[in-house]
Amino acid sequence: MPDPLPVAEPDLVRHVIATTGMSPATATRVIADVVAYFDETVEDYVRRRHHELRLRQLKNAQIWSALADEIASRRFGAPAMTERQLRRIVYG
């Protein structure tokens, strides 16, 4: 069974409805899709894109170059971090 889509913030849903004229159901689905898009990890993205590019008959040498370019211009979801990891970011 696929993972459920994330729950959209009610204020954001109201904003999208007001600015686009979308129905509440459509606005909620679009927001959930966008959140899921930005929630993909680098690892998941690389695996997914590698598979997609292999299906297009590209060779690994071409794929690695394409992936490096794509990753440099794409935002990814932050990994879950422990309190210790957070402290190390702040205090070194």
Nearest to 34 by CA among 8, 52, 69, 73: 8
Task: Decide if 43 contacts 76 (C-beta within 8 A).
Answer: no
Give 76-88 pLDDT, tens digit per residue. Answer: 877 777 888 888 8
* pTM, rounded to two decimals: 0.63
Task: Decide if 9 contacts 35 (C-beta within 8 A).
Answer: no
Task: Decide if 27 contacts 13 (C-beta within 8 A).
Answer: yes
pLDDT of residue 53: 95
Give 45-75 pLDDT, tens digit per residue. Answer: 999 999 999 999 999 999 999 999 998 888 8
